[in-house]
Each structure stands twice: as structure tokens, then as C-alpha cells.
Amino acid sequence: MSIVVTGATGHLGRNVVEQLLEKVPAEQITAVVRDEQKAADFAARGVKLAVADYNAPETFGSLFGAGDKVLLISGNEFDKGRVQQHKVVIDAAGAAGVALLAYTSAPGALKAALADDHRATEEVLLASGLPYTLLRNGWYFENYTENLAPVLEHGAVVQAAGDGRISAASRADYAAAAVAVLTGAGHENKIYELGGDEPFGFAEYAAELSRQTGREIAYTPVTPEALTGILTGAGLPAPLAEILAGVDASIEKGELVVTTGDLARLTGRPPQRLTEAVAAAVKG
């Protein structure tokens, strides 16, 4: 039996494999990658590597074994039909008779276009008859804290979220939830709504940045159309810019506030807080 992690060299995937290595022997972990070189550090520590691509179904043909636990990390190629990509993995897992397939989805309350592929993938997974766990990950602190340069340069947090609040958590938190499911028992056919315990708004985020950097940073709310223009001007493809602006519109409606406490229960610890996320980013 292996614990198989797809997208293992991505930001979330790396976090998951690193945390798995703290819980189980390396030889029980299989990292699914497109480029072996990017996972050379994992291989050196005894993790098994499997080279496969969501866009090449044949590469998943014999990848899984009966009894495996699989984490399907959602793809990020928005222009290549993510639902079909995910179906490739689900079909292969079903044919092999895996014991569990966990999928990193989006919050159930999220109505933005970003959620469409996730909802459709959930339908495919439920229809497959596989034992499943839906890890409905909320937004990530890193979506903001990893791109501080323009915020600090202009002294402004620019979002199209109005006074909306958001229950963000760190990649490490969401990875810990996945590891708890992959290494624990009793998670079959469960849905977990995951997010931070302390929702915040962007005015609070700007204030925390100001406090920790000693600079004056203000929150500048704009319309979704204006944000789309700003993002495309910064070099983002228009479809992705529109998706991100749509998420902000959902934040304004409260669709990314999570109140279940599932993340803390799964990980056994409080999720990262805003002050901690900003401190890590400013220090790093």
C-alpha cells in the first residue's frame, strides 16, 4: 500500500510530501511528478517517484495499486480542461481499486467561476463509486503574502472585495489536513470545509502590514472590472485575471468565510493567524 500524491512538486504537494515524511516511512510514499529532476530531493530521501501527466491518460495506466490512498491535487492549467484531467486520475484509481481518493476542492459556498471545475470534479468522483474525501480548501494566505513587493511599493492593498471577510489559512495547514486524512482512519466519504478560524477583511490585512513593516499601507477597494484591468496590466492572462476578480466578488458576499472548525479538528492545532502569516512573509 502506497500513499500517492499527485502534483507533488507544486507548492501544496511539496508541503504534503514533507509532512508525510514526518509520519510514515519514505518507501510508503509515491510522489507523482511530471519532471523527475524537480523531485530529486524526494528521491534522495527514499520517496518513490512516478512520472505522469494529467494530459496523458496512459501515464496513469498502472500507477496505482489496490489499497493505495491517493491525494488528487487539483491541476492549475485552467486552459486545458481541468475536469477531464482530474477524471484521468479518478478513472485510473477506480480501475486499480484504491482504498481512498482525497481531492483538494473549493469551499461549498463558493459560487465564483473558480469553483466550477471543482464542483464538476466532485460529481465525477462521487459517480465513480470510490471511497472519497473532499478537502474543500479555503483561500491561502500565500495568495497575498507571496506577492508583497507591489503592495509595499505602492503602499496599497488593492482588491475588489469591498468589506468582505475571508477565512484564510497557510499551505502548511491545508497540507496537514490532507496528511491527517491520508494517514488516519475513518475519513471515507467525508466532506471537510477547511479554512482559518479568524476571518479578516482587507482593511485589517493592510493595517497588519502597516504595523509590521512600519510603512503606511491602505486598503484600496476597486471594482472587479478595475481589478481585472490591473491584473492583466501586470501580465496575467485575461481569463485568470477574471477568475481572481470573481473570487474577490465572492469574498465580498461572504462566500469564503468558513465556520466549521474542520481544519483545526483535522490537524489538531489552530490554523495560522493573520498576524503570523504577515510576520512570516515580512521576515522571509
pLDDT score of 78: 67
Q: Which residue has the cell 475571508?
A: 166
In the prediction, which pLDDT does 9 show? 96
Q: pLDDT at residue 79 above 80?
A: no
Residues 6+ apart with CB under 8 A from 251: 139, 159, 161, 164, 165, 166
The pTM is what?
Answer: 0.96
| Assigned fold of 3-137+171-194+259-271 | Rossmann fold (3.40.50)
CA distances from 74 to 109, 198, 199, 235, 281 (A): 18, 26, 24, 23, 25
- pLDDT tens, position by position, 158-175: 999 999 999 999 999 999
Q: Residue 255 gets which letter from DSSP? A: T
pLDDT value at position 147?
A: 87
Instruction: Name the pLDDT band for 80 (thresholds 50, 70, 90).
Output: low
Least confident of 69-78, 92-101, 250-259: 69-78
